[in-house]
Structure 1
Amino acid sequence: MIVTITAPLPARLFAHRLDCHWTTLTAGPDGLLVGFRDHPDELIPWQSLAVAQQVHTGAAFHQLAFEGKPALRWIGRWHRQFWRAFSQYLHQQHEPDFALQLQRIETAVRHGYVRSSTWSQLQTQAAALLHKSDAALVQAPARPDLRYQRLGRIASGDPQLLQRYREHYLGRQQARHRSLFEKIERLPLTPSQQRACITLDDNNLVLAGAGSGKTSTLIGRTAYLIASGQAEPQDILLLAFGRQAADEMQQRLQQRLGIKLDATTFHALGQRIITAVEGRRPPISPLAEDDAKLGNWVAQQFEALLDRPEYRRQVLDYLLRFRLPADSPFNFATENEHQRFMRSNGVHTLSGLVDGSSDGAGDEMHSSAACVIADWLWSQGIDYRYRPAGIYPLAPEQALATAESAIRPMQLVPDFYLPAQDICIDLLLLDRDEDTPAWIEPAAYLGALDALRHNGQRRIELRFHQQQDGSLIDALARQLSEQGVVAQPKADQALLALVQQGALLQPLGDLLSQMLRCHRTLQPDATELRARVDASPAPQRLEQALLLLQPLHAAYRAQLVASDEIDFDDMIAKALDYVEQGRFASPWRHILVDEFQDISALRARLIRALRDAVPGAALFAVGDDWQSIYRFTGSDVGLTTDFAGFFGPVSISALDQTFRFNSSIGELASRFVLRNPAQLPKHLHSQTQVEAPAVSLLAHRSREPARDPAVLERILQVISQRRAAECGISCTVMIMARNRFSLPDSARLAQLQQRFGQLQLESRTLHAAKGREADYAIILGLESGKYGFPAARSLHPVLDALLPGGETFPHAEERRLFYVALTRARHRAYLAYSSTRPSSFVTELIADQYPIEQGEFESQH
């Protein structure tokens, strides 16, 4: 193709003034032929142009610049055919570079799994080459070759091309190592397990559903790395949370595959790193190894601190203001629901706990805010009456219409009346926006309140949100002072004696002991601690509790220093420091972590530091965010659900087949846990397919279903009848509950075992049942309330603030715990629930028409 253009007429007429030296330009196979006005034509080869020319584009004209030569100006943009030919000929000059670079890239991707970091480097290389070639072009070439197109896809980071490269590698490796994957376990690894073993990104997350063979996958990964020549045993760090799990993996590698490799726990890893740096094994404090010893030590320190007047005052101030959770009527749909919550949480005044009903106070309160007010008035020697009748005049038009009854005149009774001062104290049922709770009609309440404000009665108004933000007592004290009330506070020593008589110091000591553990696990610096206080919904409560913890924590650290010991949290923190400072030379290029959903932030930081310490090191984490149930120990499910946010780009594999439970249990349990949108979605296929529901419900009215023959024995009788058809001669039954007291005791279990001798019975709490399985599962304690399931009692707000980020979805961790419970069963799960106080989980199963069986026990009536 040969294309010739001429300089525009104005440029030819005013050539010298416009600095236009050319008359014609011809793009042909040999190069660009330039016709000059004042000297002979010149042919510039394309090869030279590809190296030393630049195109400067303009709105109407382009120009070509050459090294050591005058620029060619005033080349019309409208000469599209010329520019197409120009770009095509130049593009052809770069094709050998395209071919060479693409060959290098594809050679690299064929030799291993394309890591995210490798793909990023290849993108940069391809983009640099294309930029170099495209800088010489006015437009894209009309006929780009396939190598140019492929480089363009690489430069753009085309995810489909990346996946194609990876799939090609996975397929080849699966075929090459088929015999290895067939002998790792009794049955060959599934295709998804094999792919997880082969996937070798910088960061790899394997989502292993319940019963999907996570341990087999970890063992398979280890064996594959060694068999494929990508690692030696000493290159691999295999981490488990418990010594038993580590030993099991180590034994299976040795016995089945002949691989000698030390699987270890996080604590053993910390010891190893510290020993390597310090030259000696760090001694572990007995306080770290025995919760009872730590609790006794905290109790002794706490008692000693109470001899200090300042600390004693801080303790009393905390108990008076913050010993109760800050409930609010605004958090409940009905007044009855709020009052049921209050009764289940046992809200009693200090005076009531000490001597029944001194000062006329009584001991039962309708809200924790009222209880705080009562306690403070009592401590200040101010006589009061709680909700006395006949103080406010009652007119029919002031009655309040509610959602639960047509007229509620009790709303006009003051919360407190101070007889000596003739002052009423009202806890207004109004939030910051002047809205009422759901069960009160706002206009009626505001009208009645307005009437009270104008009846001449001396009054003090307080609000529930002041308990939450910590200003309740300050507001009360200020208003009492403004009304001339003079307090006669009880002496601290006398108050302390009364508090001790009411047995309130031990719960506070227990809380401080738990706070100490949380603080040690979190290892926050001052900035992080300040941020947690500021972010807390109850900052004053947290700040006051931390004030009480501070001398205990200082004493604990002094104890460790004096005895030359460390605890487990120190062990991880010190190991992390040594790795980050470069004082420990990590030998591991492959880090494999079991039960990753239980990871804490400090352990995650240690893993990341070990990975970053070795160029090219890879992380392989196996876990299931659906089974994250240990937040109270410091585990953070967010490190799994937002894995990439902490560790960087990740390849995620899912083990999509379970070998434990049937399809009916799997579908119900998966649907249930995925009601929380924060959980990572995955499709778990069951090896055993069934059509009928495999989760049965038994409603009962018993207060102790574990001891009631009409509950537990009825279920065991039905299981006995099913046994032969579903699991043969040997049949296991796991009895589970949220709380230990809901389970049969050892004597009752032995009695049941004797009666149902054909069944193998065991009893476990739901947390203890994780990782285990049985033919049948029985779940007790499914009722609402403080100790029900899900538990109505929430984690103490102080502990909640010191643990990993909380979740907004209601009962998020309890929901995962229910998933764990359901998926312990191979054949069937039985849910025994209270018909008078049913668990919200059971009502959800019924109301939302989950595949459940409700009629299995009807024939026994």
Structure 2
Amino acid sequence: MGEARFSPQAWACRLGFTPRWTARFERGELHIDAPEGGSGSVLDVAAQTQRGWIWSLVRIQGMEAPELRGLSHRNAKGFIARLEQEKAAALERLKHALQSDYDLLMPLSQQLAREINAQRYLAARDRDHILDRAAGHKQHVRIAHERAHSPHAGAFEITAKLRQALAFLQSLHAKGPKLLAERNRKFVDEELVRWRPFFDHCEERPLTDEQARAAIVFEENTLLVAAAGSGKTSTVVGKVAYALVKGIARPQDILCLAFNQKAAKEIGARVTARLGAMAKPECPIDPSTKGLLATLLDEGADVESSTFHALGGKIIRQFEPAVNINPSGAAVRLRRAIERCQQDPQFAARWLLLQTVSRFARPADSRFTALLVKDQELDYDELIRRSLDYLRKDPGLLPYKLILVDEFQDTAPGRGEMVRRILHAKAENLLFAVGDDWQAINRFAGSDLTYFNGFGSAFNRRSDADARCDLTRTFRSNQGIADVARSFVLRNKSQMDKEVRADDSTRQGVIDVRTYQDDKDVIAKVEETLARWVEQHPPGEKPSVFLLGRYGSKHVRGLSADEIQQLSDRWADRLDVRGGEAAAPSLYMTMHKSKGLQADYVLILGMFRLEHNWFCFPSERDDDPLLQLVLPPKEALADADERRLFYVALTRAKHRVVLLAHQRHPSPYVLELLREQRDGTVLFNGQDELPPHCPQCKRGLVFRRYNPKSGKTFHACSEQWACGKTWSSWPPPVRLRRPPRSIPFS
């Protein structure tokens, strides 16, 4: 429809009946060119005519110029007719535009809604895809919103649905990340209810809500921070089973990586066993889920569970079938290389005159490398390095989609890089890492907490692509042990904070500091403690007991290795002895070896400081400067590693812990517990009355001492060098201040 113009007749203007004006219809707009003119949509105006003797008047509603005078009667009718035609055309155009908006934006809205309402957790990649799709139509949505909310759009049936779609899309534009995060939280809550029967039977004991939530969350990178004894392996089993039945991954898509071979075998065996148990007729889970599990088992539902080095060997064998991967022989070959170097007179001379690392290390390294090349063998470091090279050249070398890593706090740089390369090989790959930074005790083996503490920055491919879940409920230690261990390890401010809730609420008297005067008293104290525990334990059951120490059995003060073995043999019929080898069970093990294990009772030996013996706890030894070159940097808190080791030792116990401390030189950790845990949780020699604080320095504790020369006892502050205050009796006598003498006036 072309442009139409209307103007007053010339004589009407000449006679002063009306000023000159022009009314134009153009693209659905009415424009009035006059001193008081204006413009507006034809849909927003109404007009009516008033016939005069000579000319007609048109009154317009909805515009600033209310009257058009001086029109011929014919033109006035034509104006009204043209206005109606323009309105009809504008409504048709509006209808067409709304239909176009509907045809484009309604399918987009419905598709995004389907993706948002999908019965799965939306990972960062899914969320970004949704928000990017919505953002691509942001300008169109803004224009369509104005159109759909015009007063005349309500006349069409499609408008109501279009408005809903536009509101949905605009909400994604305005606060999409927040909405999708809330959607995920709601999904996890609802999924937890829907799948509760499944999570009740995917392990021998029903998963807790925390464990089940961790199984449901499938962020691109998910970190599970698990307190000691909180059932992290059960969570891994539950997550694998859930991923299989939900179709998130197939068995061949899943890789479980463990720190050692024993853990890898345990995870693989438990997954297979639990899938089989759930598929049995008597298992009360959904029949369709049971049928799916049966199909998976028939097709072979073996999930790969491996150590990092075994995986590295698998990668290398694809390219070097003839290579002999036997890392366990590295020590033998290194010994042979060192023996040859020792026989070399020039090497011996250089050793004696050693000035730099390279001057003594290079010959041994050359010999060692030559042996590896000759035997076509790989050591651990070369195995990891070479497998990383192959992953770098071919990122899609491995078929895995879901990577689960156990003991993630023990990740060393090479292993961390291997995980990152497998994860980044495909956009849809997912990582589930499980660990506890409070139990990171393998720095000496190269473990680097950077991967744990900086989880997101180390592995994320996009922003907000990592999630953290916590397991705070422990099934092992009672609440008293859990509280003391937690407060102790959190003295290191770089540790992640988390609450720990124990199934056993016992708090009082669960940690007992027992002191001895001389090393020869140790064995009697140990036997006395074991006898007490056997007596306290329920009749008919053998209590399990660990004797833990910082060092190997050859370096336990007060007990030789032979005495430890004799002690173990003597108590074997009354105690559940879980340490040592199958041929020679032993009550004793190092704190490092005890990680992952538990016992009813734990007795920690060697709780003395350096003044008593070099093999003290915490260790006062500095790392060898040569070793420092290859280890991760130390933390700000000097004893961070030792604190975590003590945490591990404490949390092996289910019921009670005894700390055997030297009376004159107790460990700083013993003093810290006695100084700060004064609520009845910690006992001193079986009594809840703890050593008092030193009134002199306010920091030390006052202990009773024995002077063998005089045969007398006395009391002294534990801060021997910083304070050194002693008392012949305790409590010290109160000295009454003499009143000042009065001097009489004469």
Q: Answer whether TM exceeds 0.5 for this pair.
A: yes
Shift of 1:223: 0.8
8 Å CA contact retained: 2:253, 2:401? yes
**Residue-by-residue CA offset, 1:209-237 (whole Å, 9 max, x unaligned):** 11111111111111111111222111111
Q: Could you tell me which residue of structure 2 aligns to residue 120 of structure 1?
A: 128
User: Quick one: distance in 2 between partners of 1:548 and 1:103?
Assistant: 71
Q: Could you tell me which residue of structure 1 aligns to residue 226 of structure 2?
A: 208
Q: Secondary structure at the match of 2:508?
A: coil
Shift of 1:637: 1.5
User: Quick one: distance in 1 between partners of 2:209 and 2:536?
Assistant: 34
The correspondence for 2:113, drawn from 95, 100, 106, is 106
Matching of residue 716 in structure 1 with residue 530 in structure 2: yes
1:419-568 to structure 2, matched below 5 A, reads 544-568=356-380
**Residue-by-residue CA offset, 1:415-453 (whole Å, 9 max, x unaligned):** xxxxxxxxxxxxxxxxxxxxxxxxxxxxxxxxxxxxxxx
Q: Could you tell me which residue of structure 1 aligns to residue 543 of structure 2?
A: 731
Matching of residue 772 in structure 1 with residue 597 in structure 2: yes
User: Quick one: distance in 1 between partners of 2:42 and 2:351?
Assistant: 89
Q: Secondary structure at the match of 2:346?
A: coil
Q: Which sits farther off after the overlay, 545-554 or 147-156?
A: 147-156
Q: Could you tell me which residue of structure 2 aligns to residue 667 of structure 1?
A: 483
User: Quick one: distance in 2 between partners of 1:834 and 1:45?
Assistant: 98
Q: Secondary structure at the match of 1:277?
A: coil
Taking a change above 3 Å as real, the CA distance of residues 713 and 768 of structure 1, as seen in their structure-2 partners, is same
8 Å CA contact retained: 1:209, 1:658? yes
Q: Could you tell me which residue of structure 2 aligns to residue 265 of structure 1?
A: 307
The correspondence for 1:810, drawn from 630, 635, 638, is 638
Q: Secondary structure at the match of 2:325?
A: coil
8 Å CA contact retained: 1:597, 1:639? yes
Aligned residue pairs total: 561
8 Å CA contact retained: 1:276, 1:584? no
Matching of residue 248 in structure 1 with residue 248 in structure 2: no
8 Å CA contact retained: 2:141, 2:166? no
Q: Could you tell me which residue of structure 1 aligns to residue 138 of structure 2?
A: 130
Matching of residue 296 in structure 1 with residue 112 in structure 2: no
Q: Secondary structure at the match of 1:307?
A: helix
User: Quick one: distance in 2 between partners of 1:126 and 1:146?
Assistant: 15
User: Quick one: distance in 2 between partners of 1:801 and 1:32?
Assistant: 80
Matched AA of 2:428: G
- Percent identity over the alignment is 30
Taking a change above 3 Å as real, the CA distance of residues 723 and 749 of structure 1, as seen in their structure-2 partners, is farther
Matching of residue 174 in structure 1 with residue 192 in structure 2: yes
User: Quick one: distance in 2 between partners of 1:251 and 1:650?
Assistant: 29
Q: Could you tell me which residue of structure 1 aligns to residue 616 of structure 2?
A: 788
Matched AA of 1:718: R
**Residue-by-residue CA offset, 1:97-142 (whole Å, 9 max, x unaligned):** 665544332321222211112223333333343355559999xx99
Higher relative contact order (CA 8 A, sep 6+): 1
Q: Secondary structure at the match of 1:721?
A: helix
Instruction: Give the CA RMSD over aligned residues.
Output: 3.8
User: Quick one: distance in 2 between partners of 1:859 and 1:720?
Assistant: 22
Matching of residue 857 in structure 1 with residue 686 in structure 2: yes
User: Quick one: distance in 2 between partners of 1:660 and 1:566?
Assistant: 40
Structure 1: 5+ residue stretches without partners = 1-21, 47-89, 319-543
Q: Could you tell me which residue of structure 1 aligns to residue 58 of structure 2?
A: none
User: Quick one: distance in 2 between partners of 1:291 and 1:271?
Assistant: 15
The correspondence for 1:624, drawn from 436, 439, 451, is 436
Q: Could you tell me which residue of structure 1 aligns to residue 459 of structure 2?
A: 647
Q: Could you tell me which residue of structure 1 aligns to residue 63 of structure 2?
A: none
User: Quick one: distance in 2 between partners of 1:557 and 1:197?
Assistant: 45
8 Å CA contact retained: 2:396, 2:426? no
Taking a change above 3 Å as real, the CA distance of residues 669 and 157 of structure 1, as seen in their structure-2 partners, is farther
8 Å CA contact retained: 2:438, 2:647? yes
8 Å CA contact retained: 2:372, 2:378? yes
Taking a change above 3 Å as real, the CA distance of residues 197 and 299 of structure 1, as seen in their structure-2 partners, is same
User: Quick one: distance in 2 between partners of 1:196 and 1:812?
Assistant: 28
Matching of residue 283 in structure 1 with residue 324 in structure 2: yes
Matching of residue 229 in structure 1 with residue 247 in structure 2: yes
User: Quick one: distance in 2 between partners of 1:859 and 1:755?
Assistant: 29
Q: Could you tell me which residue of structure 2 aligns to residue 348 of structure 1?
A: none
User: Quick one: distance in 2 between partners of 1:592 and 1:644?
Assistant: 16
Q: Secondary structure at the match of 2:605?
A: strand
The correspondence for 2:496, drawn from 677, 680, 687, is 680
Q: Could you tell me the TM-score, scaled by structure 2's length?
A: 0.68
User: Quick one: distance in 1 between partners of 2:316 and 2:104?
Assistant: 52
Taking a change above 3 Å as real, the CA distance of residues 733 and 142 of structure 1, as seen in their structure-2 partners, is farther
Matched AA of 1:283: N
Q: Secondary structure at the match of 1:808?
A: coil
Shift of 1:205: 1.0
**Residue-by-residue CA offset, 1:831-851 (whole Å, 9 max, x unaligned):** 111222221111111222355
Q: Could you tell me which residue of structure 2 aligns to residue 321 of structure 1?
A: none
Taking a change above 3 Å as real, the CA distance of residues 583 and 235 of structure 1, as seen in their structure-2 partners, is closer
8 Å CA contact retained: 2:252, 2:302? no
Shift of 1:297: 2.9
8 Å CA contact retained: 1:736, 1:777? yes
8 Å CA contact retained: 1:184, 1:256? yes
User: Quick one: distance in 2 between partners of 1:294 and 1:646?
Assistant: 35
Q: Secondary structure at the match of 1:729?
A: coil
User: Quick one: distance in 1 between partners of 2:396 and 2:144?
Assistant: 51
Matching of residue 799 in structure 1 with residue 627 in structure 2: yes
Matching of residue 834 in structure 1 with residue 662 in structure 2: yes
8 Å CA contact retained: 1:716, 1:756? no
Matched AA of 1:801: L
Q: Which sits farther off after the overlay, 196-205 or 155-164?
A: 155-164
**Residue-by-residue CA offset, 1:178-202 (whole Å, 9 max, x unaligned):** 3321222222111111111111111
Q: Could you tell me which residue of structure 2 aligns to residue 220 of structure 1?
A: 238
Q: Could you tell me which residue of structure 1 aligns to residue 673 of structure 2?
A: 845
**Residue-by-residue CA offset, 1:637-671 (whole Å, 9 max, x unaligned):** 12111111211131111112111111111111111
Matching of residue 194 in structure 1 with residue 212 in structure 2: yes
Shift of 1:96: 8.0
Q: Could you tell me which residue of structure 2 aligns to residue 825 of structure 1?
A: 653
User: Quick one: distance in 1 between partners of 2:304 and 2:452?
Assistant: 25
Matched AA of 2:526: L
Q: Could you tell me which residue of structure 1 aligns to residue 473 of structure 2?
A: 657
Matching of residue 760 in structure 1 with residue 572 in structure 2: no
Shift of 1:626: 0.9
User: Quick one: distance in 1 between partners of 2:593 and 2:434?
Assistant: 20
User: Quick one: distance in 2 between partners of 1:759 and 1:771?
Assistant: 20
User: Quick one: distance in 2 between partners of 1:795 and 1:655?
Assistant: 33
8 Å CA contact retained: 2:22, 2:34? yes
Shift of 1:207: 1.0
User: Quick one: distance in 1 between partners of 2:490 and 2:242?
Assistant: 33
Taking a change above 3 Å as real, the CA distance of residues 715 and 668 of structure 1, as seen in their structure-2 partners, is same
1:15-414 to structure 2, matched below 5 A, reads 33-35=30-32, 100-111=107-118, 112-131=120-139, 133=141, 151=169, 154-155=172-173, 160-258=178-276, 259-278=301-320, 280=321, 282-285=323-326, 288-290=327-329, 292-303=331-342, 307=346, 312=349, 316-318=353-355
Q: Secondary structure at the match of 1:200?
A: coil
User: Quick one: distance in 2 between partners of 1:26 and 1:747?
Assistant: 110
User: Quick one: distance in 2 between partners of 1:188 and 1:828?
Assistant: 26
User: Quick one: distance in 2 between partners of 1:293 and 1:703?
Assistant: 37
Structure 2: 5+ residue stretches without partners = 1-20, 44-96, 152-161, 277-300, 578-586, 690-703, 705-746
Q: Could you tell me which residue of structure 2 aligns to residue 74 of structure 1?
A: none
Q: Secondary structure at the match of 1:713?
A: helix
